Amino acid sequence: MQHRKSYLDPEVLARLSRLDLKAKLVVEGFMSGLHMSPYKGFSQEFVDYRQYMPGDEPKRIDWKAYSRTDRFYIKEYQEETNLRAYLVLDTSGSMAYGKKISKLEYAKYLTASLAYLFVRQKDSVGIATFDTRIRTLIPPSAKQTNFKHILQTIEHAQPHGETALSNIMLQLAQKIKRRGLVILISDLLDDPLQVIRALRSFKYRKHEILVFHILDKDEETFPFTVPAVFRDLEDNTEVTIEPRLIRDSYRKRFQQLIASYHRSLLEAHIDHEIMYTVTPYDRALFRCLQKRSKLP
């Protein structure tokens, strides 16, 4: 059997069948290479009530609170409020691009690995998936049942439609009331100015933000050599292109786009991690642990 660390290779991971196994192998393989513990203490001290949401265990409903308010509430404990992480996964059509592994497939494995990491640390984690609208929204919890719902959501996510990244992030900023760590996993193919404005709305609400910018190397290098029909994966429009005539200008504009994002996110104090689909996952996981260590 190959050493666990090899499972951090996206192409190796893609050959495995079960998403929960993939997440476990990535995280535990990564953990075995660390010389520090990512764990923090936690307790069962009661903190507050919150409204019951799909994915919560029915047995946790406080029936006394229901008798007084006619609404379902559950109790939150200190272990559930140690850190609240919100994974935001882009499932728009452009995420379908890729040869050996698509951007969405890579993003799904990464998202599952991050979810597993937070659950293992006894932190609360939730997920939102989107294209032109929010497709799924699961509130953060540290429970295994919630983790299973998150994995099911990730497995069922399929690329389709156009993106409305900036609008979606503005909507989520309104919906996410409790301060936490918001992790956006996307190719960021939207108007940079509007995306940055939307992400700043999370900063105004005192959230920490981490952006994993998922790209395929072809998008950077534009290696195509013969005339071909290129199809937009979001609106299906087609155009015939002679690659050698536009390669230099394309590469220049692409680099300008990435530089613009990086500069603007840095100015907004938002962490920006560019992840190509050939990149081992340990870079992303280590980035999260760095961010985790800075939180109170």
- The pLDDT tens digits of the residues spanning 23-46 come to 777 777 666 655 443 333 333 444
- Are residue 145 and residue 227 in the same domain, yes or no? yes
281 contact partners, CB below 8 Å, separation of at least 6: 8, 10, 13, 26, 30, 109, 110, 113
**CATH code, domain with 141:** 3.40.50.410
pTM: 0.77
Average pLDDT over residues 226-233: 77
- Are residue 199 and residue 121 in the same domain, yes or no? yes
- Are residue 194 and residue 57 in the same domain, yes or no? no
Residue-wise burial string across 160-175, b where 16 or more C-beta atoms lie within 10 A, e elsewhere = ebbbbbbbbbbbbbee
The last residue of one of the domains, among 78, 105, 133, is 78
| Residue indicated by tokens 């006619």 | 70
Q: Is residue 236 left, alpha or beta, with left meaning phi > 0 and alpha meaning psi from -120 to 50?
A: left
- Are residue 123 and residue 72 in the same domain, yes or no? no
Bridge partners of 128, per DSSP, are: 88, 137
- Are residue 207 and residue 181 in the same domain, yes or no? yes
- Are residue 110 and residue 57 in the same domain, yes or no? no
- Are residue 155 and residue 240 in the same domain, yes or no? yes
Band (pLDDT 50/70/90 cuts) for residue 285 is confident
Task: Please give the C-alpha separations between residue 166 and each of 126, 193, 261, 268, in angstroms, as whole numbers.
Answer: 20, 9, 13, 15
Helix (H) or strand (E) holding 167: helix 165-175
Does residue 160 surpass a pLDDT of 90?
A: no
- What's the rounded Cα separation, in Å, for the pair 150 and 119? 11
- Are residue 153 and residue 57 in the same domain, yes or no? no
Number of domains in the chain: 2
**What is the four-CA torsion angle of 150, 156, 162, 165, rounded to 10 degrees?**
10
Q: What share of the chain is helix, strand, coil (3-state, %, to 5)?
A: 45, 20, 30
Best CA proximity match to 80, nearest among 43, 39, 37? 43
- Are residue 191 and residue 74 in the same domain, yes or no? no
pLDDT of residue 64: 72
**What is the four-CA torsion angle of 157, 286, 141, 50, rounded to 10 degrees?**
-120
Domain with 184, as residue range(s), is: 4-42+82-294
Best CA proximity match to 114, nearest among 278, 269, 296, 275? 275
- Are residue 125 and residue 73 in the same domain, yes or no? no
For residue 98, give the 3-state DSSP assignment. coil
pLDDT of residue 34: 52
159 contact partners, CB below 8 Å, separation of at least 6: 91, 92, 93, 94, 95, 96, 102, 104, 131, 233
Cα-Cα-Cα-Cα dihedral sign, residues 97, 249, 278, 227: positive
Could you tell me which residue, 18 or 113, shows the higher pLDDT?
113
How far out from the chain centre does Cα 7 lie? 19
Best CA proximity match to 147, nearest among 240, 265, 57? 57
- Are residue 232 and residue 249 in the same domain, yes or no? yes
Token pair belonging to 79: 């272990």
The last residue of one of the domains, among 32, 63, 78, is 78
The last residue of one of the domains, among 18, 51, 78, is 78
What proportion of the chain, given as a percentage, has pLDDT over 70?
77
pLDDT, one tens digit per residue, over 188-222 is: 999 999 999 999 999 999 898 999 999 999 999 88
- Are residue 95 and residue 195 in the same domain, yes or no? yes
- What's the rounded Cα separation, in Å, for the pair 271 and 257? 17
